[in-house]
């Protein structure tokens, strides 16, 4: 680095000193040129295709199938056949063995999956490596443990599998959302047709190789790639007994309308606009780390992101000051670099949505702050952003931005914090920062949110149920609760 070559070897640290590149090797990933649809344990040729790219470079990665209505039908038939041909009547202890195997193989191949996840989705490698992969494996381990204990989990209720589960997942945690959906479905004896998001199909397609290694019977899990049309075909298929959807509120509402009266079971995990509430007695540096983690983790592409910071007026100034200073240290860039904190925005479409909402924030009168950072020329990028001087009515305080953009509001009393936090059509998560235990409990009782974190944020565990209120959806994933949507009870 040029800075180190300065004559005289001055001891002063150069002001523009940067991190040396620390790229994770891509060699561990072996991409095929094109991928078919994984149906009945075979790769079927799709009639239509599209290209999937790396959002960090816009480089094409592979040709992907766009599954048609007929392809979806084939996948549902394969799932139904596998259900009837033995999977649903297999003893739970046998189903558990497959889930344990899948979990172990994911651990063994974690590096390969982490690199592919970052390549296709744009998230920093340290997040795919340290969060997505360990949690995905943990979900399979966790639900493997339930597979032979369903009678204990639901005593005297005769739990039975539902049948064929249609599962539609988003692009922000592609493999992790696959694990959240597939692990409980299989543990309960169902078979699956899963549709990954159109921008991030590659780890789901690599997962088919894990299924082959685990010798899962053909047709128990089928993966059909494609965009919303493929998802809609799955929702509308009469042979599907249950739909599990994670994605936007608009599509979630459309699915709910479509399924009303159909008798199909439905769970919806939709968006959020979480309040991260900071009281003046909190450990301030810890809170700043929690705020940063809450909104800049995964570029803010997180349904439970802490996108509204509610700061108690008495600490507003030092808090915002510290936060801005902390933002200057965030490294934005190559997702495959091990030092990167904020990676690429997932797609051109999502970048456009972020830009539009940020523009509305400026126009409505909020004050914008972005730390100085050089963004790569190719690819989709957005600098970490903080808005202060935000009114409750502004779009940036109401709508889900799903990007690295924080809106700061203030409050005086705990009652006011609750009013403001709950003043949202969403209700997925919330955070509370205070040293006072009784206040945490008081707040948690009143916050209309499925998850409330105290003195931490974005913490996940497979044993802990996750899901929302109001426009954030219904049903729970994770924990004992996460089994219920995949069971029927002959009472
Ligand atoms: P989306 O809801 O369109 O996509 C999510 C999944 O649903 C994808 O697999 C997509 O192919 C599928 N899909 C789309 N239309 C469908 C239909 N009519 N029937 C069945 N499946 C369909 O979300 P999109 O457009 O990618 O993102 C828009 C916004 O949604 C984001 O900016 C964000 O605010 C929110 N979102 C929330 C997520 C969450 O985790 N709750 C995840 C992704 C997006
Ligand atoms: Mg959409």
What pLDDT tens digit does each residue of the chain (491 aa) get?
A: 344 444 445 566 666 677 899 999 999 999 999 999 999 999 999 999 999 999 999 999 999 999 999 999 999 999 999 999 999 999 999 999 999 999 999 999 999 999 999 999 999 999 999 999 999 999 999 999 999 999 999 999 999 999 999 999 999 999 999 999 999 999 999 999 999 999 999 999 999 999 999 999 999 999 999 999 999 999 999 999 999 999 999 999 999 999 999 999 999 999 999 999 999 999 999 999 999 999 999 999 999 999 999 999 999 999 999 999 999 999 999 999 999 999 999 999 999 999 999 999 999 999 999 999 889 999 999 999 999 999 999 999 999 999 999 999 999 999 999 999 999 999 999 999 999 999 999 999 999 999 999 999 999 999 999 999 999 999 999 999 999 999 999 76
Measured in Å, residue 251 CA sits from the centre of ligand 2 at: 7
Q: Is the CB of 271 under 6 A from ligand 1?
A: yes
364 an active-site residue? no
Q: What is the pTM of this model?
A: 0.96
**pLDDT on residue 10:** 54
Dihedral (Cα; 177, 181, 182, 183), 10-degree rounding: 100
Name the one residue in this structure whose structure tokens are 């049309």. Answer: 229
Catalytic residue among 24, 112, 198, 269: 269
Counting ligand 1 atoms within 8 A of each CB, the residue from 55, 167, 168, 170 with the most, and so the one to mutate, is 170
The answer, yes or no, to whether any atom of ligand 1 lies below 6 A from the CB of 468, is no
Of 341, 389, 342, 338, whose CA–CA distance to 362 is shortest? 389
Partners of 431 in the beta sheet? 276, 453
Distance (Å) from CA 248 to ligand 2 centroid: 7
Question: 172 C-alpha vs ligand 1 centroid, how far in Å?
Answer: 10
Which of 253, 265, 255, 248 has its CA nearest to residue 233?
A: 255
What SS3 string covers the chain?
CHHHHCHHHCCCCCCCCCCCCCECCCCCCCCCCECCEEECCEEECCCEEEEEECCCCCCEEEEEEECCHHHHHHHHHHHHHHHHHHHCCCCHHHHHHHHHHHHHHHHHCHHHHHHHHHHHHCCCHHHHHHHHHHHHHHHHHHHHHHCCCHHHHCCCCCEEECCEEEEECCCCCHHHHHHHHHHHHHHCCCEEEEECCCCCCHHHHHHHHHHHHCCCCCCCEEECCCCHHHHHHHHHCCCCCEEEEECCHHHHHHHHHHHCCCCCEEEEECCCCCEEEECCCCCHHHHHHHHHHHHHHHHHCCCCCCCEEEEEHHHHHHHHHHHHHHHCCCCECCCCECCCCECCCCCHHHHHHHHHHHHHHHHHCCEEECCCCCCCCCCCCCCCEEEECCCCCCHHHHCCCCCCEEEEEEECCHHHHHHHHHCCCEECEEEEECCCHHHHHHHHHHCCCCEEEECCCCCCCCCCCECCEECCEECCECCHHHHHHHEEECC
Q: Which atom of ligand 1 is nearest to the CA of 252?
A: 2
Q: Which residues of 300-332 are buried (b: 16+ CB within 10 A; e: fewer)?
A: bbbbbbbbbbbbbeebbeebbebbeebbeebeb
Q: Is 269 a catalytic residue?
A: yes
Query: Which of 52, 199, 251 has most ligand 1 atoms within 8 Å of CB, for mutation?
Result: 251
What's the full length of the chain, in residues?
491
Is the CB of 353 within 6 Å of ligand 1? yes
247 Cβ below 6 A of ligand 1: yes
pLDDT at residue 11, rounded to an integer: 61
Please tell me the predicted confidence (pLDDT) of residue 3: 44
304 CA distance to ligand 1 middle (Å): 15
Q: Identify the residue whose C-alpha is closest to ligand 1 atom 40.
A: 303
Cα angle 320-324-327, degrees, rounded to a multiple of 5: 135
Domains and CATH numbers, the chain: 26-270+472-489 (3.40.605.10), 275-461 (3.40.309.10)
Separation in Å, CA 375 to CA 239, 342, 465: 48, 11, 37
Question: 208, 303, 304, 484: which is the annotated catalytic residue?
Answer: 303
Q: What are phi and psi of 388, to 5 degrees?
A: -110, 175
Ligand at shortest distance from the CA of 305: 1
- Does 473 sit in the ligand 1 pocket, CB within 6 Å? no
* Residue 272 CA, closest ligand 1 atom number: 41
Residue 18: the pLDDT is: 76
CB distance 228 to ligand 1 below 6 Å? yes
């Amino acid at each position: 680095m040029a800075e180190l070559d300065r004559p005289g070897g001055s001891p002063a640290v150069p002001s523009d000193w940067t991190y040396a590149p620390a790229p994770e090797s891509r060699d561990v990933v072996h991409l095929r040129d094109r991928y078919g649809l994984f149906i009945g344990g075979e790769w079927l040729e799709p009639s239509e295709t599209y290209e999937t790219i790396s959002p960090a470079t816009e480089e094409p990665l592979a040709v992907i199938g766009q599954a048609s209505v007929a392809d979806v039908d084939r996948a549902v038939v394969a799932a139904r056949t596998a259900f009837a041909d033995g999977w649903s009547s297999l003893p739970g202890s046998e189903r558990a063995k497959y889930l344990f195997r899948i979990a172990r193989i994911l651990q063994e191949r974690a590096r390969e999956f982490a690199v592919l996840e970052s390549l296709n989705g744009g998230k920093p490698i340290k997040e795919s490596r340290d969060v997505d992969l360990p949690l995905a494996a943990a979900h399979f381990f966790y639900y493997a443990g339930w597979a032979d204990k369903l009678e204990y989990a639901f005593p005297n209720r005769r739990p039975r599998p539902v049948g064929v589960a249609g599962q539609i997942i988003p692009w922000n945690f592609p493999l992790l959302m696959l694990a959240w959906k597939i692990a409980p479905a299989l543990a309960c004896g169902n078979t699956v047709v899963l549709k990954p998001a159109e921008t991030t199909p590659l780890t789901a397609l690599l997962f088919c190789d894990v299924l082959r290694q685990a010798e899962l019977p053909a047709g128990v899990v089928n993966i059909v790639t494609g965009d919303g049309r493929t998802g809609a075909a799955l929702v509308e298929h009469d042979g599907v007994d249950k739909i599990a959807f994670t994605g936007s509120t608009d599509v979630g509402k459309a699915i709910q309308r479509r399924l009303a009266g159909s008798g199909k079971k439905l769970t919806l995990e939709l968006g959020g606009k979480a309040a991260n509430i900071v009281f003046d007695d909190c450990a301030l540096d810890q809170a700043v780390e929690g705020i940063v983690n809450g909104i800049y983790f995964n570029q803010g592409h997180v349904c439970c992101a802490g996108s509204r910071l509610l700061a108690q007026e008495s600490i507003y100034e030092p808090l915002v000051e510290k936060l801005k200073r902390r933002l200057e240290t965030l490294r934005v860039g190559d997702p495959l670099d091990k030092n990167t904190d904020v990676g690429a925005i997932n797609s051109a479409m999502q970048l456009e949505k972020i830009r539009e909402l940020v523009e509305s924030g400026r126009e409505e009168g909020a004050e914008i702050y972005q730390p100085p950072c050089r963004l790569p020329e190719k690819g989709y990028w957005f600098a970490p952003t903080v808005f202060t001087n935000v009114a409750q009515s502004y779009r940036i305080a109401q709508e889900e931005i799903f990007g690295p953009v924080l809106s700061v509001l203030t409050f005086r009393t705990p009652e006011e914090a609750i009013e403001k936090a709950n003043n949202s059509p969403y209700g997925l998560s919330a955070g509370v920062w205070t040293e006072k235990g009784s206040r945490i409990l008081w707040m948690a009782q009143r916050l209309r949110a499925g998850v409330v974190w105290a003195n931490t944020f974005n913490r996940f565990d497979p044993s802990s149920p996750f899901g929302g209120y109001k426009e954030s959806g219904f049903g729970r994933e994770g924990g004992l609760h996460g089994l219920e949507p995949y069971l029927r009870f002959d009472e």
